[in-house]
Amino acid sequence: MYKANDNRYEKMKYSRCGNSGLMLPKVSLGLWHNFGDTAQYSNMKELCFTAFDNGITHFDLANNYGPPPGSAESNFGKILKEELFQYRDEIIVSTKAGYEMWDGPYGNMGSRKYLLASLDGSLKRMGVDYVDIFYHHRPDPDTPLEETMGALDSAVKSGKALYAGISNYDGERLEQAAAILKELKCPFVINQNRYSIFDRTIENNGLKATAARLKKGLIAFSPLAQGMLTDRYLNGIPKDSRIMTDGRFLKEAAITKERLEQIAKLNEIAKNRGQTLAEMALAWVLKDGIVTSVLIGASKPSQILDNIKAIENTVFTKEELNLIDSISLL
């Protein structure tokens, strides 16, 4: 039986989700990769234990994480039941619905029928009565926003979720969603979006600025650009890299000569800061206090320990920021 480290809260820092009462660790663990049925269960347990032992209280899932879809929730639920159940009140479990989960017209997008059925399936797979955060995973242009947000509100008011969140929205749709949820008196606390030194979409589509203005939380996924902002690709593409072992999301074509040159130059800035490239990339996302937490993925426990070090220095000089921009914004 797992026993958590007594000192687990000493080093981790926690930030409030906007102006809500919910606090998240600066670093959260995403179960997008490495928790499907193709991964080793013993390794999944070690990843969760290492995270929790070091103050990472937030575990981020979605209905379709795997492969196959649903398996990440099932595997995490097994770990929760067998090892972590006594710490449930210290843990934030989040899940989402919005991408294709089952066949037919009711297994995708943003209808009330899909979202609420999906949440019931997620609770069953994880063996829990509620999740802490339930997200709509992506905007659905064909379903009225009132219907989708109404489903999130129902999820919360039924006791199946404590807070509502939205993912992959832009600033304009965030503003509309927030207005609907405010009228419904639904505790909407967080946005989840892709954000990294290499991907500034939320700076350009108004999401980051709107989240800050509305005092909503923001959690960033892919802060390491699928591993490109690490030392993994400084000397080319290693055989055990995600590109070689799981080419679904990061393609070999993404690692161009120009990209490798950018990575090498950014690595030099990191060295001068006394950080690894991964540490600097995570620190950069957290630099201005608008992003509540960064979501990391890990295939081995040592990566979690390395990534946590990022929170030790999230302050950048103006010169460093300008240099990072000049290298990455090509």
Judge contact between 126 and 76, C-beta under 8 A: yes
Judge contact between 328 and 198, C-beta under 8 A: yes
pLDDT for 179 beyond 90: yes
Residue 248 banded pLDDT, cuts 50, 70, 90: low
pTM of the model: 0.95
CATH fold, domain 14-233+277-315, is TIM Barrel (3.20.20)
pLDDT tens digit sequence for 78-93: 999 999 999 999 999 9
* Exposure letters 291-311 (e unless 16+ CB within 10 A, then b): bbbbbbbbbebebbebbbbbb
The pLDDT value given to residue 235:
83
Please give the C-alpha separations between residue 68 and each of 56, 75, 207, 305, in angstroms, as whole numbers. 26, 11, 31, 28
Q: What is the mean pLDDT of residues 257-276?
A: 96
d(CA 72, CA 95) in angstroms, rounded, equals 11
pLDDT tens digit sequence for 101-145: 999 999 999 999 999 999 999 999 999 999 999 999 999 999 999
d(CA 65, CA 100) in angstroms, rounded, equals 11
d(CA 61, CA 76) in angstroms, rounded, equals 9
